[in-house]
């Protein structure tokens, strides 16, 4: 059974639902995921420092694949703007994983975790101050305190790995910058930030771009409006394939980080990427994207 048919079965998608628009993305990402997961999960780590990135990478790989599956279900069920919002999550997560693999180690991951904890704790304390003079202060503060208490376990864990890998909180910014653009840039993917990630912000942030397009379309003849709608659909499908390329790249980089050196194994990722590139090229004109 091809991955696409297994995908239909696992996601309870009707037999009558046309999955041709997502077949290449489903098949390539699942194959790439399985190659990477089987390789990384079978690593015999000799030390805690070796095992730490193994488990973190496996967790992130699984979480990104889940977002990809949600994105592709949106494409198949014609929820195109939702697919673009999820595509933004996929490309950001894939870039983060690639960054960890190419420019990181256990200390980088520690900073990644520590910065989230510090920011989340700070926001909770800010919220607690905001409600100090409100009539509902007692109820909200109690909920905030419950969450802060739950975070103590996370704090203990971050302190533990910080001591283990010799990472102090004042080193977090150097190890894991707040700027996603800087991670794109360090990976020589600044153009992807603007052409892919930033472009996908329209759906996730509900920007004015689509509203302006809608208002302009109201003045157009019916045939032009139909053409614009079809082009928008094709663009969403194309972008779903583009971000899957980033995911497959991140998987390859993780495997190389963990010691994969066999050329034939690495070339499997390249073959899967090329399948997506072909599919992207096939839909590029319909999506209104000119040749490079």
What Cα–Cα distance (Å) separates residue 161 from each residue in 44, 103, 117, 164? 20, 19, 13, 5
Residue 187 region, left (φ>0) first, then alpha (ψ -120 to 50), else beta? alpha
What Cα–Cα distance (Å) separates residue 92 from each residue in 54, 69, 122, 199? 20, 16, 23, 12
Residue 78 region, left (φ>0) first, then alpha (ψ -120 to 50), else beta? left
156's tokens: 């203990």
Mean pLDDT, the chain, whole residue set? 94
- Give pLDDT, residue 204: 85
- Give pLDDT, residue 82: 96
Please state, for a pLDDT cut of 90, what percent of the chain lies above it. 85
pLDDT tier at 133, thresholds 50, 70, 90 = confident
The b-or-e profile of 224-236 (16+ CB within 10 A means b, else e) is eeeebeeebbbbb
pLDDT tier at 287, thresholds 50, 70, 90 = confident
176: pLDDT strictly greater than 90:
yes
- The pTM is what? 0.94
203's tokens: 């759906």
Asked if 126 contacts 10 with a C-beta cutoff of 8 angstroms, the reply is no
244's tokens: 């899957």
- Give pLDDT, residue 292: 60
Mean pLDDT to the nearest integer, 224-235: 92
Instruction: Name every residue whose Cβ is closer than 8 Å to that of residue 124 and which is 6 or more positions away in sequence.
Output: 144, 147, 148, 151
128: pLDDT strictly greater than 60:
yes
- Give pLDDT, residue 209: 87
Asked if 36 contacts 255 with a C-beta cutoff of 8 angstroms, the reply is yes
Mean pLDDT to the nearest integer, 232-236: 94
Instruction: Name every residue whose Cβ is closer than 8 Å to that of residue 8 and which is 6 or more positions away in sequence.
Output: 15, 17, 19
Taking only the tens place, the pLDDT of each residue in 198-224 is 989 888 888 898 899 889 999 999 999
Mean pLDDT to the nearest integer, 143-151: 96
- Give pLDDT, residue 1: 47
Taking only the tens place, the pLDDT of each residue in 6-49 is 999 999 999 999 999 999 999 999 999 999 999 999 999 888 88
Phi first, then psi, for residue 220 (nearest 5°) are -90, 155
Mean pLDDT to the nearest integer, 265-273: 97
The per-residue DSSP string of the chain comes to --HHHHHHHHTT--TTS--TTTHHHHHHHHHHHHHHHHHHHT----SHHHHHHHHHHHHHHHHHHHHHHHHHHHHHTT-HHHHHHHHHHHHHHHHHHHHHHHH--HHHHHHHHHHHHHHHHHHHHHHHHHTTTSTTHHHHHHHHHHHHHHHHHHHHHHHHHHHHTT--GGGHHHHS-S-HHHHHHHTT-HHHIIIIIHHHHHHHTT-SHHHHHHHHHTTS-HHHHHHHHHHHHHHHHHHHHHHHHHHHHHHHHHHHHTT---HHHHHHHHHHHHHHHHHHHHHHTTTTPPP-
Taking only the tens place, the pLDDT of each residue in 88-120 is 999 999 999 999 999 999 999 999 999 999 999
- Give pLDDT, residue 210: 87
86: pLDDT strictly greater than 70:
yes
């Amino acid at each position: 059974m091809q991955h696409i048919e297994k995908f239909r079965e696992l996601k309870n998608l009707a037999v009558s639902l046309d999955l041709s628009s997502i077949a290449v993305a489903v098949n390539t990402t699942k194959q790439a995921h399985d190659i990477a997961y089987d390789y990384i999960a079978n690593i015999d780590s000799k030390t805690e420092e070796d095992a730490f990135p193994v488990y973190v990478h496996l967790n992130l790989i699984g979480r990104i694949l889940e977002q990809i599956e949600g994105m592709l279900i949106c494409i198949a069920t014609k929820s195109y703007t939702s697919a673009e919002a999820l595509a933004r999550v996929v490309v950001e997560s894939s870039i983060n994983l690639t960054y960890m693999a190419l420019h990181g180690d256990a200390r980088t991951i520690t900073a990644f975790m520590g910065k989230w904890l510090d920011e989340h704790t700070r926001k909770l304390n800010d919220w607690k101050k905001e409600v100090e003079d409100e009539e509902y202060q007692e109820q909200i503060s109690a909920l905030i305190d419950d969450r802060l208490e739950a975070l103590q376990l996370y704090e203990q864990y971050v302190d533990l790995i910080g001591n283990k890998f010799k990472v102090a909180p004042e080193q977090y910014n150097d190890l894991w910058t707040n700027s996603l653009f800087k991670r794109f840039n360090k990976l020589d993917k600044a153009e992807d930030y603007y052409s892919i990630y930033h472009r996908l912000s329209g759906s996730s942030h509900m920007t004015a771009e689509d509203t302006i397009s809608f208002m302009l379309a109201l003045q157009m003849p019916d045939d032009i409006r139909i053409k614009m709608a079809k082009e928008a659909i094709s663009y969403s499908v194309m972008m779903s394939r583009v971000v899957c390329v980033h995911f497959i790249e991140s998987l390859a980089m993780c495997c190389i980080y963990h010691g994969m050196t066999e050329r034939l194994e690495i070339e499997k990722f390249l073959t899967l990427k090329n399948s997506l590139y072909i599919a992207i090229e096939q839909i590029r004109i319909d999506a209104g994207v000119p040749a490079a």
